[in-house]
């Protein structure tokens, strides 16, 4: 029996009012024009350099993420609820990080098992006891959301380290405005182009105690071989800050300095896009060629800010995810605005028994997995894939969680045959500094394969523009 999915454009076979003008737009667009515009969009993406790489694969090292021209639309009422829930979650996650690197009150209170935090591979003892500027550990929080009904939104996972994809949010909008200016004259759509200014303001607001005057902000990239290098350079350009690699920075006299043609310049805030393990070879991996020797000593002494802070990743572990509603109650004294997806923790014997017996109906994920890897979608897996995954879970149950296979909402998507519903998720980007802010919208990812629930670009997913209608 087919699962009924919520179609965001149609309700009871009637077009929802927020999509009415888009229906007229698609009806008026001949197939030849649509194909021409799709080719134009791909040429723009290629010319601008919006590509990504998938590690370990041959073929084109600079692949385009498929772009779907049919935008996804939210009403202002829908967005206000999402915005409240996202900001609430970002506050709670940062309160949790500040706590577990401090007194650990939530653990003392028995609300979260100590082993999930202190034995977690993302927990960095090097920052235990350290309070970063304004008490913020995660400065850019990407919250992945799915929808299952008119009023039903769920948080699929949290990304507190270095969530990627915001360049696609901005470029999707830019390309849509360039190709279809009439659409933006006919629809009142909230802008997203203020994101780079908000990001720079957020980063500057968490300058370290020893900063003198206007803070110098840089983006630290692993280099042009990184799959997200386009985004690093794109954001640096829009913010008007330097894009640097580890070799461009050095530590001297208790500060971090940047090599320039005018001589060394002190750096106050580093928006890092490299993993904790590679930040400082004197503190983490000694073989790292990507970081800066002595960086962590400067950080702990208040000479530089690192965004997001080392150790922030413990908050986006999938086992920790199950406790975020409890964090909201514990730290904020509030009920969650947005709900988690019901989750079984395979490290618990009763949950493990249920998951092993019902794997054909569940989505099973590695707690440290990302990008659509390390997971099993039971209803779409073969018997051999399920058997192999069952053995892996049984061998190391603490490494896995499981969730029901949600009836993810669909939005209209241009496919070869015309327009068809495809499953989507949403990643808004919440900025946390002196204030908590986010632009109205986010990155909508779409599973382009019919029936697929996996939206990740590395697994064949695409992207589309996300509209929030102004009142």
Q: Which pLDDT band holds residue 354 (cuts at 50, 70, 90)?
A: very high
The string of pLDDT tens digits covering residues 145-196 is 999 999 999 999 999 999 999 999 999 999 999 999 999 999 999 999 999 9
Please state, for a pLDDT cut of 70, what percent of the chain lies above it.
Answer: 94
Question: No. of H helices and E strands in the chain?
Answer: 14, 25
Is residue 239 within 8 A of residue 196, CB to CB? The reply is yes
As given in the structure block, the two tokens for residue 168 are: 């696609």
Render pLDDT for 193-220 as a digit per residue (tens, 0 to 9). Answer: 999 999 999 999 999 999 999 999 999 9
pLDDT tens for 38-94 read 999 888 888 877 665 554 444 455 667 889 999 999 999 999 999 999 999 999 999
Q: What's the rounded mean pLDDT across residues 407-424? A: 90
pLDDT: which is higher, 416 or 462:
462
Helix, strand, coil fractions of the chain, as percent rounded to 5: 35, 25, 40
Which is higher by pLDDT, 457 or 246?
Answer: 246
* Interacting residues of 437 by C-beta distance below 8 A, sequence separation 6+: 198, 202, 430, 431
| pLDDT band per the 50, 70, 90 thresholds, residue 417 | confident
Q: Is the peptide bond before 308 cis (omega within 30 degrees of 0)?
A: yes
- Structure tokens that stand for 399 in this block: 């490494």
For residue 141, pLDDT beyond 80: yes
Domains in the chain, CATH or no CATH each: 10-122+138-193+315-340+407-468 (no CATH), 344-404 (3.30.1490.270)
- 214 phi and psi, to 5 degrees? -65, 125
pLDDT of 408 higher than 60: yes
* pLDDT score of 1: 41
Q: Does residue 377 carry a pLDDT above 50?
A: yes
Lowest mean pLDDT among 21-35, 331-345, 419-433: 21-35
The yes-or-no verdict on residue 367 having pLDDT over 90 is no
For residue 370, what pLDDT is reported? Answer: 59
Across 224-238, 274-288, 300-314, least confident range:
224-238
**Mean pLDDT of the residues in the chain:** 92
Alpha-carbon span 170 to 173, nearest angstrom: 5
């Amino acid at each position: 029996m087919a699962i009924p999915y919520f179609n965001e454009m149609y309700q009871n076979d009637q077009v929802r009012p927020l999509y009415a003008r888009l229906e007229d737009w698609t009806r008026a667009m001949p197939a030849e024009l649509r194909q021409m515009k799709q080719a134009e969009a791909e040429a723009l993406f290629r010319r601008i350099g919006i590509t990504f790489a998938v590690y370990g694969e041959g073929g084109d090292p600079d692949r385009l993420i498929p772009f779907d021209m049919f935008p996804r639309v939210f009403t202002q009422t829908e967005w206000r609820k999402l915005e409240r829930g996202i900001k609430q979650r970002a506050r709670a996650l940062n309160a949790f990080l500040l706590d577990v690197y401090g007194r650990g009150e939530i653990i003392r209170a028995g609300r979260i098992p100590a082993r999930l935090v202190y034995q977690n591979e993302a927990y960095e003892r090097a920052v235990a006891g350290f309070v970063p500027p304004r008490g913020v550990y995660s400065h850019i929080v990407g919250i992945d959301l799915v929808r299952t009904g008119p009023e039903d939104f769920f948080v699929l996972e949290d990304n507190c380290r270095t969530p990627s994809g915001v360049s696609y949010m901005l470029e999707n909008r830019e390309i849509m405005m360039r190709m279809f200016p009439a659409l933006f004259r006919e629809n009142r759509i909230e802008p997203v182009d203020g994101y780079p200014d908000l990001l720079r303001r957020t980063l500057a607001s968490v300058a370290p105690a020893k900063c003198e005057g206007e803070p110098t902000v840089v983006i630290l990239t692993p280099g042009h071989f990184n799959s997200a290098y386009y985004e690093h350079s794109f954001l640096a350009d829009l913010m008007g800050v330097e894009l640097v690699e580890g070799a461009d920075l050095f530590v001297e006299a208790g500060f971090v300095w940047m090599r320039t043609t005018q001589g060394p310049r002190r750096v106050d805030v580093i928006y890092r896009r490299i993993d904790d393990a590679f930040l400082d070879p004197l503190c983490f991996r000694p073989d790292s060629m990507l970081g800066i020797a002595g960086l962590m000593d400067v950080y702990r002494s208040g000479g530089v800010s690192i965004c997001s802070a080392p150790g922030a990743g413990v908050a986006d572990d999938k086992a920790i995810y199950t406790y975020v509603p409890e964090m909201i109650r514990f730290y904020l004294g509030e009920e969650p605005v947005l709900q988690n997806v019901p989750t079984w923790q395979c490290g618990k014997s009763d949950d493990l028994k249920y998951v092993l017996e019902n794997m054909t109906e569940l989505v099973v994920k590695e707690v440290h997995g990302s990008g659509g890897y390390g997971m099993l979608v039971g209803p779409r897996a073969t018997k051999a894939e399920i058997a192999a995954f069952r053995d892996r879970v049984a061998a190391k149950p603490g490494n896995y969680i499981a969730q029901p296979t949600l009836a993810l909402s669909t939005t209209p998507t241009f496919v070869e045959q015309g327009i068809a519903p495809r499953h989507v998720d949403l990643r808004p980007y919440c900025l946390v500094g002196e204030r908590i802010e986010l632009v109205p919208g986010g990155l909508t990812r779409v599973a382009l394969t019919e029936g697929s629930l996996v939206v990740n670009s590395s697994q064949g997913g695409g992207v589309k523009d996300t509209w929030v209608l102004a009142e």
